[in-house]
Amino acid sequence: MKEPNITLHIERLILEGVPLAYSHKTVVQGVVEGELARLLAGDGLAGELQSGGAMRSVVGGDMQLSSDGNPHTLGRQIAHAVYQGIGGARK
């Protein structure tokens, strides 16, 4: 079976109340993109999204911010929350 071609475009990611240094913005963005790509490649999408379609917005899953302020950790947490929001495949 051919692997689906998934295009993911995040126009805007709003992080209200998250203390993030401006200099960490691109780090977080890169980690979110990379982790989402890894999750999609490894775990795929839920059945209802595999036939295609677009989502105007996504409400991410719950996440508990770590207190270390590490932008890599934050990026991974955001990616997992977004993945929950797009209905990541459940095992």
d(CA 20, CA 55): 27
CA triplet 58, 8, 86: central angle to 5 degrees?
35
What confidence score (pLDDT) does residue 50 get? 66
Q: What is the model's pLDDT at position 72?
A: 93
> Is pLDDT of 2 > 50?
yes
Could you give the CA distance from residue 50 to residue 56 in angstroms, rounded to a whole number?
A: 17
Check: pTM over 0.85? Answer yes or no. Answer: no
For residue 76, the model assigns a pLDDT of: 93
43 has a pLDDT exceeding 80 = no
Query: What are the beta bridge partners of residue 53?
Result: none
* Between residues 3 and 83, the one the model is more confident about: 83
Between these two residues, 52 and 69, which has the higher pLDDT value? 69
